Amino acid sequence: MPLSGIKGGQLRFFTKDQIYSLHLTSLNVLEQIGVMMDHDAALKLMEEAGAEVDYKDRIVKIPQYLVLEALRKVPRNITLYGRNSENDVALTRDMIYNGSANNAIAILDFNGTRRPATFKDLEDFTRLQDALENIHIMSTPITAFNDVSPKGVYKRCYEGVVKNTEKHVINQADGAKEVRDEARMAAAIMDIELEEVGRRPIFSVIADLAPPLKFPRTIIEVIMECAKYRIPILLESDPYAGGTAPITTAGIILQQNAEILAGITLTELAKPNTPIIYTCAPMVLDMRLGVASLGAPERGVYHVATAQLCRYYGVPLCGVAGTTDSKVVDVQAGYEKAISYLMAALSGVNIITSHTGTLESVLTISYEQSVIDNEIYGMVFRILRGGDISDDSLYEAFKVIGKVGPLGSHYLSQEHTRKYFPVEEWLPTVSDRNKWDAWVRKGKKTALKMAREKAKKILKEHRPEPLPRETLEEIARIAEEPIY
Per-residue pLDDT tens digits for 285-340: 999 999 999 999 999 999 999 999 999 999 999 999 999 999 999 999 999 999 99
Per the CB < 8 A criterion, the answer to whether 456 and 131 are in contact is no
User: Whole-model pTM?
Assistant: 0.95
High-pLDDT (> 90) share of the chain, %: 96
Residues ≥6 apart with Cβ < 8 Å to 339: 297, 300
Which regions of 70-128 does DSSP assign to beta strands (E)?
78-80, 89-91, 95-101, 106-108, 114-116
pLDDT of residue 1: 53
Which of 199, 126, 140 is closest to 173 using CA atoms? 140
pLDDT of residue 400: 98
How far is it, in rounded angstroms, from Cα 99 to Cα 139?
7
Read off the pLDDT band of 93 (50, 70, 90).
confident
Segment 441-465 mean pLDDT: 97
Beta-bridge partners for 35: 60
| 3-class DSSP state of 337 | helix
- Please state the φ and ψ torsions of residue 218, each to the nearest 5 degrees: -65, -35
CA distances 349 to 88, 196, 400, Å, are: 18, 30, 39
DSSP letter assigned to residue 4: P
Reading across the β-sheet that carries 240-241, which strands appear in turn? 240-241, 283-286, 291-293
* CA triple 263-258-91, angle to 5 deg: 60
> Chain centroid to CA 71: how far?
22
| 185 has a pLDDT exceeding 80 | yes
High-pLDDT (> 70) share of the chain, %: 99
End-to-end CA distance of the chain: 40
Element (H, E) at 276: strand 276-280
DSSP letter assigned to residue 465: P
Which of 344, 353, 434 is closest to 137 using CA atoms? 353
